[in-house]
């Protein structure tokens, strides 16, 4: 398929691979730190996403967080299909997207 061809081309572009690795090395720790400040627990990650838990918040569960973030045009993934309904899978995005995510979570948790 076209997606597989594009993925193989991207893997052969070592400059792109290195830029993505460096981007994730910078932003993954930032996001984990911000989640911690918000009282959100996250699973350890070495990839381009973080799995964040929403169980310690009364009336602020993962399902409501997912809906709220979708309303903010932020699209995390549910992990309910993996037997983890209290978590969301959040991809490390570009700087403006990461900041928008944290701001949206602050609003969500403060509401």
pLDDT digit string (tens) for the chain, length 111 residues: 899 998 888 888 889 889 999 999 999 999 999 999 999 999 999 999 999 999 866 778 999 999 999 999 999 999 999 999 999 999 999 999 999 999 999 999 985
d(CA 91, CA 44): 13
- Helix residue spans in 51-94 (DSSP H): 62-71
Q: What is the pTM of this model?
A: 0.86
Q: Specify whether the CB–CB gap between 102 and 74 falls below 8 A.
A: no
Q: Hey, how many other C-beta atoms are within 10 angstroms of the C-beta on 32?
A: 18
Paired tokens of 11: 């893997």
Q: Specify whether the CB–CB gap between 20 and 48 falls below 8 A.
A: yes
């Amino acid at each position: 398929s076209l997606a597989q061809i594009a993925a193989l081309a991207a893997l052969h572009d070592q400059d792109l691979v290195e830029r993505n690795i460096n981007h994730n090395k910078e932003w993954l720790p930032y996001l984990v730190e911000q989640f911690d400040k918000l009282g959100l627990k996250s699973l350890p990650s070495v990839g381009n996403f973080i799995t964040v838990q929403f169980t310690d918040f009364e009336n602020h569960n993962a399902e409501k967080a997912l809906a709220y973030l979708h309303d903010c045009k932020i699209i995390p993934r549910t992990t309910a299909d993996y037997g983890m309904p209290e978590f969301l899978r959040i991809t490390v995005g570009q700087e403006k997207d990461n900041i928008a995510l944290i701001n949206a979570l602050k609003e969500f948790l403060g509401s």
